[in-house]
Amino acid sequence: MDEGLEIARVVTEAAKEGDLQACGIVLARIAPPMKAQSERVEFDFDPTASTAQQIESVLAAIASGDLSPDSGREVIAAIGTLSNARAVEELEARIITLEARTV
């Protein structure tokens, strides 16, 4: 542990003396880059609608300016992920039903 503190001290001193690489190391630790966050949006959305209807709803919100294209892309990706999960659940239920019939 003492070696780690010594290394930190040496790098900090080098940064103070103008070593740009050392400055980058120090700054990365004391002020890491901020992560981008999407803004919260609200628009009409029917979670019970079909996947195609949901995507059409998002596209309409983009077209009307209620939703930015970037946010719309994220929402459409989430709809796709949910649709895939529902498809897997449906297939699993169908397989269970078929296996129950053969037993």
Residue 29 confidence (pLDDT):
86
Residue 57 confidence (pLDDT):
93
Kindly give the confidence (pLDDT) of every residue in the chain, 103 residues in length, as a single tens digit, with 9 standing for 90 and above: 678 888 888 989 998 999 999 988 988 888 877 777 777 777 778 888 999 999 999 999 999 998 899 999 999 999 999 999 999 999 999 999 999 998 7
For residue 46, give the 3-state DSSP assignment.
coil
Helices 2-16 and 20-30 meet at what angle, rounded to 10? 120
Quick one: how far is CA 46 from the chain centroid?
22
CB 44 within 8 A of CB 57: yes
Q: Which one-letter amino acid corresponds to residue 73?
A: R
